[in-house]
Amino acid sequence: MTTNSIEICGISKKFVLRHTRSLKEAFVWIMKGRKGDLSKKFYALNDITLDVAMGESVALLGLNGSGKSTLLKHISGVMLPDTGTVSTRGRVAGLIEVGAGFHPDLSGRDNVYLNGAILGMSKEQIDAAFDSIVAFSEIEEFIDTEVKFYSSGMYLRLAFSVAVHTDPDVFLIDEILAVGDEPFQKKCLAKIKELHAAGKTLIVVSHDLDVVAKVCDRGILMESGHAVMDAPVDEVIARLRS
Ligand SMILES: Nc1ncnc2c1ncn2[C@@H]1O[C@H](COP(=O)(O)OP(=O)(O)OP(=O)(O)O)[C@@H](O)[C@H]1O
């Protein structure tokens, strides 16, 4: 029997579509007793149901604004659905936004401890992994600099390094590898493949279809908040390229 790492059951998420209303529209709305809703809502995720088995590597693909990052945020738990449920098994870590979970006024060193703790590591575990985290990130010289002075690539290096050292069962990666330079991207890809080979579950959001084809086996195509295709990654990529 396969064990699922992630079970998503009928989740939907609505966001408010913001646009300026004219004074006249607002006046009419007030005069009519504030009936109805002046703001329009739209579904960023619309009734998504899917299971991901332990050890699968899944790419979330689709055009800009189709709901990929929103789905990833629901899997990570930073966003809650309006309806439906998301369950995950084991430690979930990853990179959703560069610098998320980092405090700008703290040094790289302090942020390793802060971020590691947020991702569920104890102080002893972080102490033991600290040198390896810094070595992987290759930013030794700047480890005592406040991270507000880091470049986006340096943020990525440290954040990625902390995340992979948490020994995650489910690793989430959103586009961000794009800000790393080529040697570091290669190093990250090798690490991601290593995690996959060790049986970890991967969910990757990327527009780089060549990278996705190398790393993922399964592809899910998102369109306007719907999952419209769930197939081997090569088939989904072929549809996107057609
Ligand atoms: N916090 C939010 N509040 C309001 N709207 C949001 C919020 N987050 C995302 N959206 C909207 O939800 C839709 C889906 O966004 P999402 O970031 O998930 O798309 P995406 O597929 O990851 O796009 P991209 O390829 O451009 O990264 C977009 O229209 C976006 O503007």
> Which two structure tokens, joined as six digits, stand for 91?
């430690």
- Rounded Cα distance, 123 and 67, in Å: 36
Tell me, in angstroms, the distance from the centre of ligand 1 to residue 53's CA: 26
DSSP states along the chain: -PPEEEEEEEEEEEEEE--PPPHHHHHHHHHTTS-S-SSEEEEEEEEEEEEEETT-EEEEEESTTSSHHHHHHHHHTSS--SEEEEEE-S-EEEESSTTTT--TTSBHHHHHHHHHHHTT--HHHHHHHHHHHHHHHT-GGGTTSBGGGS-HHHHHHHHHHHHHTT--SEEEEESGGGGS-HHHHHHHHHHHHHHHHTT-EEEEE-S-HHHHHHH-SEEEEEETTEEEEEEEHHHHHHHHH-
What is the predicted pLDDT for the residue at 24?
A: 80
| Tens digit of each residue's pLDDT (9 = 90 or more) over 28-85 | 878 878 776 667 788 999 999 999 999 999 999 999 999 999 999 999 988 999 999 9
Q: Does the pLDDT at position 25 exceed 90?
A: no
Q: How many domains does the chain have?
A: 1
Q: Does the pLDDT at position 96 exceed 90?
A: no
What is the predicted pLDDT for the residue at 75?
A: 94
- Rounded Cα distance, 112 and 107, in Å: 9
Q: Does the pLDDT at position 19 exceed 70?
A: no
- Tell which atom from ligand 1 comes closest to the C-alpha of 66: 21
Q: Does the pLDDT at position 26 exceed 80?
A: no
Tell me, in angstroms, the distance from the centre of ligand 1 to residue 84's CA: 19
- Rounded Cα distance, 202 and 102, in Å: 23
Residue 135: domain span: 4-241
| Tens digit of each residue's pLDDT (9 = 90 or more) over 203-220 | 999 888 988 998 999 999
Q: What are phi and psi of 227, to 5 degrees?
A: -90, 105
Average pLDDT rounded to a whole number, residues 162-167: 88
Tell me, in angstroms, the distance from the centre of ligand 1 to residue 204's CA: 16
CATH of the domain at 150: 3.40.50.300
Q: How confident is the model at residue 8 (pLDDT cuts 50, 70, 90)?
A: very high
What is the predicted pLDDT for the residue at 237?
A: 96
Higher-pLDDT residue of 114 and 36 is: 114
Q: How confident is the model at residue 222 (pLDDT cuts 50, 70, 90)?
A: very high
